[in-house]
Amino acid sequence: MSTSLVLTVLLAYFLLLILVGFVTTRKVNSEMFFTANRNSPWYLVAFGMIGTTLSGVTFISIPGEVGNTHWTYLTLVLGNCVGYIVIALVLLPLFYRQNLVSIYSWLGTRFGEKARLTGSFFFIVSQLVGASFRLFLVVGVLQLAFFDAIGVPFWLTVFITIVFVWIYTVRGGIKTIVWTDTLQTVFILISVGLTIVVVNKALDFNFSSAIAAIKESPLSRVFDFDWRSGQNTVKQFLAGVAITVCLNGLDQNMMQKNLTCRSLRDCKTNMFSFSFLFLVTNVLFLMLGALLYIYAEREGIVLPGKSDDVFPFLSLNYFGATAGLFFLLGITAAAYSSVDSSLTALTTSFCIDFLKIDPGNKDEKKKRMGVHIVFSLLMIFVVVLFRELNNSSVISSLFKAVGYTYGPLLGLFTFGLTTKYQVREKYLPWVCLLSPVISYVVNCYSEQLLFGYKFGFEILLFNGLLCYLGLLLIRDKSSVRIINN
**Cα–Cα distance for residue pair 282/263, rounded to 1 Å:** 28
Q: What angle do CA 288, 230, 283 make, to 5 degrees?
A: 20
Same domain, 348 and 425: no
Quote the pLDDT of residue 164: 85
Q: What is the rounded average pLDDT of the residues 388-413?
A: 73
Same domain, 209 and 357: yes
Same domain, 277 and 406: no
* 359-372 pLDDT per residue, tens: 877 777 888 889 99
pLDDT, the chain, mean: 86
Same domain, 375 and 440: no
**Cα–Cα distance for residue pair 425/113, rounded to 1 Å:** 9
**Cα–Cα distance for residue pair 207/213, rounded to 1 Å:** 10
Under DSSP, the state recorded for 218 is: G
Q: Residue 198 belongs to a domain with what CATH number? A: 1.20.1730.10
Same domain, 331 and 424: no
Following DSSP, what letter does each residue of 116-153 receive, concatenated? HHHHHHHHHHHHHHHHHHHHHHHHHHHHHHTGGGGT--
Q: 372 φ, ψ to 5°?
A: -60, -40
Does residue 58 carry a pLDDT above 80? no
* 236-246 pLDDT per residue, tens: 898 888 888 88
Under DSSP, the state recorded for 261 is: B
- Which of 358, 390, 422 is the last residue before a domain boundary? 390
Radius of gyration of the chain (CA): 22
**Cα–Cα distance for residue pair 254/53, rounded to 1 Å:** 8
Q: What is the rounded average pLDDT of the residues 278-293?
A: 94
Q: 133 φ, ψ to 5°?
A: -65, -45
Same domain, 354 and 411: no
Quote the pLDDT of residue 484: 47
In this structure, is the dihedral angle defined by the CA atoms of residues 65, 68, 69 and 70, taken in order, positive or negative?
positive
How far, in whole angstroms, is CA 150 from its chain's centroid?
31
- Which of 329, 356, 390 is the last residue before a domain boundary? 390
Q: Could you tell me the end-to-end alpha-carbon distance of the chain, in angstroms, rounded to an integer?
A: 56
CB 288 within 8 A of CB 199: yes
Same domain, 337 and 254: yes
Supply the pTM of this predicted model.
0.85
Does residue 347 carry a pLDDT above 60? yes
Sort 178 into a burial class: Cβ within 10 Å, 0-12 / 13-18 / 19+.
buried
Same domain, 383 and 406: no
Helix (H, G, I), strand (E, B) or coil at 82: helix
* 143-162 pLDDT per residue, tens: 876 788 788 898 998 998 88
CB 307 within 8 A of CB 65: yes
**Cα–Cα distance for residue pair 275/273, rounded to 1 Å:** 5
Quote the pLDDT of residue 175: 82
**Cα–Cα distance for residue pair 293/299, rounded to 1 Å:** 10
Same domain, 69 and 185: yes
**Beta-carbon neighbour count of residue 272 at 10 Å?**
16
Quote the pLDDT of residue 91: 92
Number of domains in the chain: 2
Same domain, 402 and 374: no
Quote the pLDDT of residue 485: 47
β-pair partners for 423: 475
- Considering 171-175, 235-239, 398-402, the range whose residues carry the highest mean pLDDT is 235-239
- Which of 325, 355, 390 is the last residue before a domain boundary? 390
CB 191 within 8 A of CB 326: yes
Residue 377's domain comprises 3-390
How far, in whole angstroms, is CA 471 from its chain's centroid?
28
Same domain, 399 and 365: no
Q: What is the rounded average pLDDT of the residues 434-441?
A: 92
Same domain, 101 and 168: yes
